[in-house]
Amino acid sequence: MLLLHCPLLLLLLPLSSRPQKLPTRDEELFQMQIRDKAFFHDSSVIPDGAEISSYLFRDTPKRYFFVVEEDNTPLAVTVTPCDAPLEWKLSVQELPEEASGEGSGEPEPLEQQKQQITNEEGTELFSYKGNDVEYFVSSSSPSGLYQLDLLSTEKDTHFKVYATTTPESDQPYPELPYDPRIDVTSLGRTTVTLAWKPSPTASILKQPIQYCIVINKEHNFKSLCAVEAKLSSDDAFMMAPKPGLDFSPFDFAHFGFPSDNNSGKERGFLKSSKFGRQTSSKPRVDLHKVCVGNKNIFTVSDLKPDTQYYFDMFAVNTNTNMSTAYVGTFARTKEEAKQKTVELKDGKVTDVFIKRKGAKFLRFAPVSSHQKVTFSVHSCLDAVQIQVRRDGKLLLSQNMEGVRQFQLRGKAKAKYLIRLKGSKKGASMLKILATTRPNKQSFPSLPEDTRIKAFDKLRTCSSVTVAWLGTQERNKFCIYKREVDDNYSEEQKKREQNQCLGPDTRKKSEKVLCKYFHSQNIQKAVTTETIRGLQPGKSYLLDVYVIGHGGHSVKYQSKLVKTRKFC
């Protein structure tokens, strides 16, 4: 069997005085044509037993021919629509008498043969309209000239066709198990576990099969070809195949899928023009494909809570790169656990702990009328995001670190909802105070720069001299020291940088001194201190705490210093 475009068919007809005969399935010729892959591109020639990819312009039909020479020949034809529904019809007509036998006589003129082949309607065997992968299978087909007509009425699209006269032995598509459904075995807020039965092609015939899962939020897909089309940068039309490429030019790389040795990297997108027409790049589709080898269970992670996802499974024969779709499924991830809302009391500091990437909600409902409300927030570790709503209206939304104070306009009987979102790096700890009394200050004021500076030239074998900035507000400062190993790293120091841990967590032996300090001139709000009684060639971690009027403290950034070894 050979599929033939009409003009090519006529060129292949013998032009001598010998009896004429349509092309037959010559196995040696067929193998040669398989090796010469350009032979089948951009034409209507389909080899017996190989899948081809082609394309359709909207409302422009396309026709294929193939010849079955003997009666009672098995025949299977598979048409796979990709990104648009297709109308297709398979029909058969008798072969021209002169071409089907070994008769004698003068050959018919070329035009007469063309009319004889193409003008007859033939007998319709099968027709279909839709976007399912559809099959025509017959165990006993009559000899004749078969023609396959395809049409897309929605848009420019591409499709795949496979035809064979040996369907029992070919079996290029993986076989589905008796139960081809995907089971959802476990459901979480951000994870879904899927399980499926293995393809008999793998479990019984021992052919190399891998399973590919496709996840998206829109709908299920009926073929891997449809997935590839969706991932294309121009989902209205595929780039036309070029001679010299593989049988299936619309392979995974063209469609943005990573190759087997590049599966962990972000997928690329096809950027091309369609016969001179410029294609505009479209937004990245929210569609993901992951191949899991021969596993029969897989957990999809990093999903969004309370979101419906569609899951499709494709068994792919890695020898032929041809695939079969399992019955897709869908599932909605579980909702986020309902957050407990913490009630804030006027003028009282509340400690808040937030998991990594988590969030906490707090509520403040002043009992008396007020003109202003003040929120003082102390982020102990990394930056956090704070949002404040008054009776549902967003008043404040920003990232912050260290100590910040937010003063908002008040409103009678108003209720405030505060949302604190943690860091992506790790857990967050905060202290927060809400008050309607403007003079109520629990947290000390801080300068913009909370680093401790060490003077290298003033360093001796037994002392170091440091300085830090203060503010215009009179506060108490306490300095502490702790001997550390020489290999103490900045990373260790960063892990201990919890600004909310106060002097009460330190040993008495680590205390150097406490003093009060401020300056009305902010430019001169600098203090220095020499720390004595240190050991030669030793490393020390220095901490400065500023303590506010309410007794709450804030730690400056720790400083690692080292005394001189020789003096």
Cβ neighbourhood burial of 134 (10 Å; 0-12, 13-18, 19+): middle
- The mean per-residue pLDDT over the stretch 387-409 comes to 89
Cβ neighbourhood burial of 100 (10 Å; 0-12, 13-18, 19+): middle
Q: Which residues contact 440 (CB under 8 A, 6 or more apart)?
A: 347, 374, 433
pLDDT: which is higher, 297 or 405: 297
- The mean per-residue pLDDT over the stretch 382-396 comes to 90
The residue assigned the tokens 């032009």 is 15
Token code pair at residue 493: 């120091």
CA 326 to centroid of chain Cα atoms: 22
The pLDDT score that the predictor gives to residue 331 is 94
The pLDDT score that the predictor gives to residue 238 is 40
- The mean per-residue pLDDT over the stretch 89-94 comes to 86
The pLDDT score that the predictor gives to residue 552 is 83
pLDDT: which is higher, 99 or 95: 95
- The mean per-residue pLDDT over the stretch 232-248 comes to 42
- The mean per-residue pLDDT over the stretch 290-305 comes to 92
The radius of gyration computed from the CA coordinates of the chain, to the nearest angstrom, equals 38
Q: Does residue 542 have a pLDDT over 80?
A: yes
> How far is the CA of 133 from the CAs of 51, 59, 110, 289, in angstroms?
13, 20, 38, 20
pLDDT: which is higher, 147 or 314: 314
Q: Does residue 44 have a pLDDT over 90?
A: no
The pLDDT score that the predictor gives to residue 210 is 92
Please tell me whether residue 542 adopts helix, strand or coil conformation: strand
Q: Does residue 424 have a pLDDT over 70?
A: yes
Amino acid at 318: T
Q: Which helix (H) or strand (E) holds 262?
A: none
- Give pLDDT tens digits for 215-227: 999 999 999 988 8
517 φ/ψ angles, rounded to the nearest 5 degrees? -160, 140
Q: Does residue 247 have a pLDDT over 70?
A: no
pLDDT: which is higher, 274 or 92: 92
pLDDT: which is higher, 187 or 104: 187
What proportion of the chain, given as a percentage, has pLDDT over 70?
76
The residue assigned the tokens 């008050």 is 435
The pLDDT score that the predictor gives to residue 545 is 93
The pLDDT score that the predictor gives to residue 493 is 66
Are 107 and 16 in contact by the 8 Å Cβ rule? The answer is: yes
- The model's pTM is 0.50
405 φ/ψ angles, rounded to the nearest 5 degrees? -125, 130
Q: Does residue 556 have a pLDDT over 80?
A: yes
DSSP state of 38: G
* Ordered domains of the chain (ranges, CATH): 50-95+122-170 (2.60.120.680), 173-235+285-337 (2.60.40.10), 342-435 (2.60.120.680), 452-562 (2.60.40.10)
The pLDDT score that the predictor gives to residue 55 is 85
DSSP state of 176: P
Please tell me whether residue 307 adopts helix, strand or coil conformation: coil
The pLDDT score that the predictor gives to residue 249 is 34
Q: Does residue 273 have a pLDDT over 60?
A: no
The pLDDT score that the predictor gives to residue 123 is 87
Q: Does residue 255 have a pLDDT over 50?
A: no
Cβ neighbourhood burial of 293 (10 Å; 0-12, 13-18, 19+): exposed
3-class SS shares of the chain: helix, strand, coil, % to 5: 10, 40, 50
pLDDT: which is higher, 431 or 107: 431
Q: Does residue 26 have a pLDDT over 70?
A: no
pLDDT tier, 437 (very low <50, low <70, confident <90, very high otherwise): confident
Q: Does residue 267 have a pLDDT over 60?
A: no
- Give pLDDT tens digits for 491-500: 676 666 777 8
Q: Does residue 307 have a pLDDT over 70?
A: yes
The pLDDT score that the predictor gives to residue 461 is 94
Q: Does residue 332 have a pLDDT over 90?
A: yes
The pLDDT score that the predictor gives to residue 73 is 85
The residues pairing with 329 across neighbouring beta strands, listed in sequence order, are 311
The pLDDT score that the predictor gives to residue 477 is 94
- The mean per-residue pLDDT over the stretch 67-84 comes to 87
Q: Does residue 259 have a pLDDT over 60?
A: no
Side-chain half-sphere exposure of 59, counting CA atoms within 13 A: 0
Sign of CA dihedral 129, 135, 138, 142: positive
Mean pLDDT across the chain: 78
- Give pLDDT tens digits for 334-368: 987 776 889 999 888 899 998 888 889 999 998 87
- The mean per-residue pLDDT over the stretch 215-241 comes to 72
Across 39-48, 224-233, 275-284, 405-414, least confident range:
275-284
The pLDDT score that the predictor gives to residue 308 is 94
pLDDT tier, 551 (very low <50, low <70, confident <90, very high otherwise): confident
Candidate ranges 165-179, 369-383, 531-545; pick with highest mean pLDDT: 531-545
The pLDDT score that the predictor gives to residue 333 is 94
The pLDDT score that the predictor gives to residue 549 is 76
Q: Which residues contact 236 (CB under 8 A, 6 or more apart)?
A: 155, 156
pLDDT tier, 97 (very low <50, low <70, confident <90, very high otherwise): low
For 271-299, the DSSP string reads: ---BTTB--PPPPPPSEEEEE-TT-SEEE
Q: Does residue 506 have a pLDDT over 60?
A: yes
- The mean per-residue pLDDT over the stretch 421-426 comes to 84
